[in-house]
Amino acid sequence: MAEGIKSVGVIGGGQMGSGIAQLAAVAGIDVWLLDLDSNALTSATKSITNSVQRFVSKGQLSQEVATNAIKRLRCTSNLEDLRSADVIIEAIVESEDVKKKLFSELDRIAKPSAILASNTSSISITRIASATSRPHQVIGMHFMNPPPIMKLVEIVRGADTSNETFITIKALSERFAKIVVCSQDYPGFIVNRILMPMINEAFFTLYTGVATKEDIDTGMKLGTNQPMGPLELADFIGLDVCLSIMKVLHVGLGDSKYRPCPLLVQYVDAGRLGRKRGIGVYTYGKQPEVSKSLARL
């Protein structure tokens, strides 16, 4: 059970990985955060420190908890340092080949009892698990962005995921103060199976000249009470991530309704990836802070 988890490894020092590492550290668990890029680890450490201090300033964490959380965080670029981890959570690029290669390495390095979890937002857990000799201990643990704020974790069981693994990861998610929903291992799972076609349709609406980007987003925000319009949300997620998920849906489900909008493809080809690049559907200056309304998403 989650109470027995003393050490967690998180792979990927980006926004998702650093956010997951923060959750584990605040929950009282020792954390190894791994990234091959030392600059990414430096940035992640700074981001986590600033984030926990914001929670302190808002009265949502005590200074003692925040200080202890930072002490529990260790950074590394050596996969061997994850040997003692009870759970290893992968939060790297959304590529099946890359993830399978990593999980094969983790299977070799991790202790026999370790659970291997993927933060994938759309890729088959069953196929990722096939790269290991422990498919019963592989599971999807899909956090929403940004993990310290968003309340949901989407748990995905592969074909061979054991009940024990599921129960442990569900309890761990709840230890992180998250609400859990459970999905079968189908392309896109629950959230992105519904969300990404909406975003894709917003691109088609813009592509065919139905309305301006501003009116599309305003219409959806005020007409359906969403905190962000679909095009603004796509920029926040990353247009490359949106396109990758749409491709998974299109190939995995074989339905033309999941065909990526040509405008989305064009933007990604042009490097217009959203807020992280300073330009996507909209143009940004300094990378903006996460809006308060996003916490309600």
Residues catalogued as catalytic: 121, 142, 154, 192
276 annotated as belonging to a binding site for a ligand: yes
**Cβ atoms < 10 Å from Cβ of 49:** 15
4 is in an annotated binding site: no
Q: Is 145 marked as binding a ligand?
A: yes
- 140 marked ligand binding residue: no
Q: Is 185 helix (H, G, I), strand (E, B) or coil?
A: coil
Q: In angstroms, what CA-CA distances link 247 with 77, 140, 261?
A: 31, 19, 10
Spatial neighbors of 169 by CB under 8 A, at least 6 apart, are: 87, 115, 117, 139, 141, 155
- 232 annotated to a ligand binding site: no
Alpha-carbon distance of 3 to 14, in angstroms, equals 27
Three-state DSSP at 62 gives coil
16 has binding-site annotation: yes
- Determine contact, residues 213/206, Cβ cutoff 8 Å: yes
Q: Is 182 exposed, middle or buried (0-12, 13-18, 19+ CB in 10 A)?
A: middle
Instruction: Report d(CA 191, CA 211) in Å as an integer.
Output: 26
141 is in an annotated binding site: no
Cβ of 81: how many Cβ atoms within 10 Å?
Answer: 15
Residue 223 counted as an annotated binding residue: no
Q: What is the 3-state secondary structure (H, E, C) of 97-128?
A: HHHHHHHHHHHHHCCCCCEEEECCCCCCHHHH
13 is known to lie in a ligand binding site: yes
35 is in an annotated binding site: yes
Is residue 10 within a helix (H) or strand (E), and if so which, with residue range? strand 7-11
Do 235 and 264 touch, CB atoms closer than 8 A? no
Phi and psi at residue 66, to the nearest 5°: -65, -45
Bind-site residues for CoA: 51, 58, 121
- Extract the annotated binding site for NAD(+): 12-17, 35, 94, 99, 121, 145, 276
Binding-site annotation, residues: 12-17, 35, 51, 58, 94, 99, 121, 145, 276
